[in-house]
Amino acid sequence: MQVADAAVDRTPRVLIAADKFKGSLTAVQVAERVTAGLRRAAPHAEIESLPVADGGDGTVDAAVAAGFERREVRVAGPLGHEVSASFALRGPTAVVEMAEASGLQRLPSGVFAPLSSSTYGTGELLRAALDAGARTIVFGVGGSATTDGGAGMLSALGARFLDAEGEPVAPGGAGLADVASADLSGLDGRLAAVDLVLASDVDNPLTGPTGAPAVYGPQKGAGPDDVALLDGALAHFAGVLEKEIGPKAAGYATAPGAGAAGGVGYGALVLGARFRPGIEVMLDVLGFAPALERATLVITGEGSLDEQTLHGKAPAGVAAAARAGGKEVVAVCGRLALPPEELGRAGIRRAYPLTEAEPDIARCIAEAGPILERVAENIGHDFLT
């Protein structure tokens, strides 16, 4: 009996907890391809997959893969056109991804609208989660098309932002320069009884050299003049809110996460959200800890393992949690831009980039799935046989 138990104990148990390869594979597809490759090398291994995300695009998909129910709603896109967006629900917990409503992918191809895009649809998504009975809302932010400080989101939830003539200001960040008064008395009363968690992988303030317009505005099509306009408009918006809710409005503007997703983090903090690093929140929500206990090897990864990875991205969070649990970690990626010593400090023993198996980058992107299977087969030979 003891011999049999020992044999069972030697069975390798792999946990695949990787993020998406942006532009090539979803996190779910990454897990499927890695599983297929591992099985070719080590058919005896027990493999569990837990696709992860850090709060940005793909967060709802990760929650659904972990057993949440997908809920579809019609909301306003960043330019006001109606789009179909999803949130995830399990019991009293909802996962809301602002990119579903207000993300860059919701803009027409090749179109940017840094001054006029709005987070109104994100507020509608939050309201839908409240309507579904959510008592805890994990609010994942990232990948936004917007730089409106969350004003659109707040408006959808009942706030009013008026100009000097008493008319609603235009949507988008540029319109905030015209805000003369703010009225938050109409905010949805259910928000007071909800635990709203702002899940983000960035901790920038709202404005200034490291604020939302300066750091992220150019990614959304904002030129230098646009960045200056947006920065001033957001500062003005925070000043008007200070008159409405007091000095805490200024504190929110400098708090970690305020500048996330074009300042939607600031709007969330105004709603009473508490900021937590996105990957930490998602690992909790997805049930990473019990899955980690069952594993002898953890495989994480994302499209590019680079300096950004080390600052709050999903693989770094997975590796840190796995290292704390005494588990070995390897990573898969499309591109590797970190030396072995930095990987080691992050808790990753070795990284396997697709470019190691296929030097042609264009082919790596176009044929990411089959190449990833080959890479995973190599991992199986190196660690499971």
Q: How far apart are CA 162 and CA 266, in angstroms?
A: 19
Tally: H helices and E strands in the chain? 17, 13
What number of CA atoms fall less than 13 Å from residue 22's CA on the CB side? 11
Cα 204 from chain centroid (whole Å): 15
CB-based contact 371:357 (threshold 8 Å)? yes
Sheet holding 46-49, edge to edge: 46-49, 13-16, 297-305, 328-336, 350-353
Q: Is 132 helix (H, G, I), strand (E, B) or coil?
A: coil
Q: How far apart are CA 2 and CA 169, in angstroms?
A: 74
Burial of 246 (0-12, 13-18, 19+ CB in 10 A): exposed
Burial of 160 (0-12, 13-18, 19+ CB in 10 A): middle
How much is the pLDDT for 10? 82
Q: How far apart are CA 149 and CA 199, in angstroms?
A: 16
How much is the pLDDT for 3? 46
How much is the pLDDT for 311? 86
Look up residue 208 and give its two tokens: 């200034």
Q: How far apart are CA 175 and CA 372, in angstroms?
A: 46
Q: How far apart are CA 281 and CA 240, in angstroms?
A: 32
Instruction: Please report, as a single letter, which amino acid is at residue 161.
Output: F
> Which domains, ranges and CATH numbers included, belong to the chain?
2-50+287-383 (3.40.50.10350), 59-279 (3.90.1510.10)
How much is the pLDDT for 6? 44
Q: Measured in Å, how far apart are the chain's first and last C-alpha atoms?
A: 24
Look up residue 217 and give its two tokens: 């505005």
Instruction: Look up residue 8 and give its DSSP letter.
Output: H
Global pTM value: 0.93
Q: How far apart are CA 250 and CA 59, in angstroms?
A: 30
Taking only the tens of pLDDT, the chain with its 385 residues reads 444 454 446 899 999 999 999 989 999 999 999 999 999 999 999 999 999 999 988 999 999 999 999 999 999 999 999 999 999 999 999 999 999 999 999 999 889 999 999 999 999 999 999 999 999 999 999 899 999 999 999 999 999 999 999 999 999 999 999 999 999 999 999 999 999 999 998 999 999 999 999 999 999 999 999 999 999 999 999 999 999 999 999 999 999 999 999 999 999 999 999 999 999 999 999 999 999 999 999 999 999 999 989 988 999 999 999 999 999 999 999 999 999 999 999 999 999 999 999 999 999 999 999 999 999 999 999 999 8
Look up residue 356 and give its two tokens: 């190691």
Nearest Cα to Cα of residue 192 among 139, 241, 137: 137
Q: Is 364 helix (H, G, I), strand (E, B) or coil?
A: helix
Q: Is 3 helix (H, G, I), strand (E, B) or coil?
A: helix
